[in-house]
Amino acid sequence: MKEKLGLSKDKIAEARERAIAICAPVLDFIHEHTSVTVERATLRLLGADGANADGVPVPNLVVDSLRQNLSEGAALRYANALVVKGMTPQELNSAIASGLDISKIPLGDKAFARVKAEQLAQAHLDRIRNNRGQREKKLAEFAGRNNSPLLYLIVATGNIFEDVKQAQAAVLNGADVIAVIRTTAQSLLDYVPYGATTEGFGGTYATQENFRIMRQALDEAGEREKRYIYLTNYASGLCMPEIAAMGALERLDMMLNDSMYGILFRDINMYRTFVDQKFSRMINAYAGIIINTGEDNYLTTSDAYEKAYTVLASQFLNERFAYAAGLQAWQMGLGHAFEMDPSIPNGFLYEFAQAQMAREIFPEHPLKYMPPTKHMSGDIFKGIVMDNMFNFVSKATGQGIHLLGMLTEAIHTPFMMDRYLAVDTARYVMNNIASFGDDIEFKKDGIMVRHAHEVLDKTLEFLREVEKTGLMDAIAQGLFAEVKRPKDGGKGLEGLLAKSPDYFNPVESLLEEELGIL
Partner 1 sequence: MAHIVRPYGDTLDDGKVQLSFTLPVPHGLKAQEAARIMVLGWGFSDCEIVHSARISDNFTFFVAYAKTERGVDYDAVEADRNEEEKSMSMDEVNEFIRTHIGRKVVVVGACTGFDAHTVGIDAIMNMKGYNHHYGLERYSMMEAHNLGAQVPNERLLEYAVKVKADAILVSQVVTQKDTHIHNLTNFIELLEAEGLRSKFICIVGGPRISNKLAVQLGYDAGFGRGTYADNVATFVVKKLAERMEL
Span near partner 1 by CB under 8 A; candidates 44-52, 117-125, 298-306, 361-369: 298-306
Shortest approach of partner 1 to residue 85 CB, angstroms? 39
Query: Does 378 sit near partner 1 (CB under 8 A)?
Result: yes
Query: Does 411 sit near partner 1 (CB under 8 A)?
Result: yes
Question: At a CB cut-off of 8 Å and minimum separation 6, what does 229 contact?
Answer: 171, 175, 176, 177, 178, 218, 219, 221, 222
Residue from the set 29, 142, 161, 415 that interacts with partner 1 by CB under 8 A: 415
Q: Which of 296, 298, 395, 499 is catalytic?
A: 296
Bridge partners for 401 per DSSP? 150, 368
Total chain residues near partner 1 (CB under 8 A): 35
Nearer to partner 1, 187 or 331 (CB): 187
Edge-to-edge strand list for the sheet holding 230-234:
332-333, 290-292, 254-256, 230-234, 177-180, 150-155, 401-403, 368-370, 335-337
**Termini Cα distance of the chain:** 34
Query: Does 477 sit near partner 1 (CB under 8 A)?
Result: no
What kind and span of H or E run contains 333?
strand 332-333
Query: Does 349 sit near partner 1 (CB under 8 A)?
Result: no
Tell me how far apart the alpha carbons of residues 58 and 99 are, in angstroms, rounded to a whole number: 10
Nearer to partner 1, 366 or 414 (CB): 414
Contact 420, 392 (CB under 8 A): no
Contact 49, 93 (CB under 8 A): yes
What kind and span of H or E run contains 292?
strand 290-292
Query: Does 344 sit near partner 1 (CB under 8 A)?
Result: no
Tell me how far apart the alpha carbons of residues 263 and 274 are, in angstroms, rounded to a whole number: 9
Site for partner 1 in 60-119 (CB under 8 A): none
261 is catalytic: yes
Tell me how far apart the alpha carbons of residues 335 and 367 are, in angstroms, rounded to a whole number: 6
Q: Which of 116, 368, 395, 491 is catalytic?
A: 368
Q: Which of 261, 271, 323, 503 is catalytic?
A: 261
Span near partner 1 by CB under 8 A; candidates 278-286, 324-332, 407-415, 450-458: 407-415
Query: Does 382 sit near partner 1 (CB under 8 A)?
Result: no
Burial class for 516, CB neighbours closer than 10 Å (0-12, 13-18, 19+): exposed
Binding mask 227-266 for partner 1 (x = CB under 8 A): --------------------------------------xx
Query: Does 341 sit near partner 1 (CB under 8 A)?
Result: yes
368 is catalytic: yes
Bridge partners for 332 per DSSP? 291
Residue from the set 131, 208, 257, 302 that interacts with partner 1 by CB under 8 A: 302
What kind and span of H or E run contains 155?
strand 150-155
Shortest approach of partner 1 to residue 22 CB, angstroms? 25
Nearer to partner 1, 167 or 255 (CB): 167
Tell me how far apart the alpha carbons of residues 92 and 131 are, in angstroms, rounded to a whole number: 26
Shortest approach of partner 1 to residue 325 CB, angstroms? 26
Active-site annotation, residues: 261, 296, 368
Name the site residues for partner 1 (rule: CB under 8 A): 158, 168-169, 172-173, 184-185, 187-188, 201-202, 265-267, 300-303, 341, 343, 373-375, 378, 410-411, 413, 415-417, 420-421, 424, 482-483
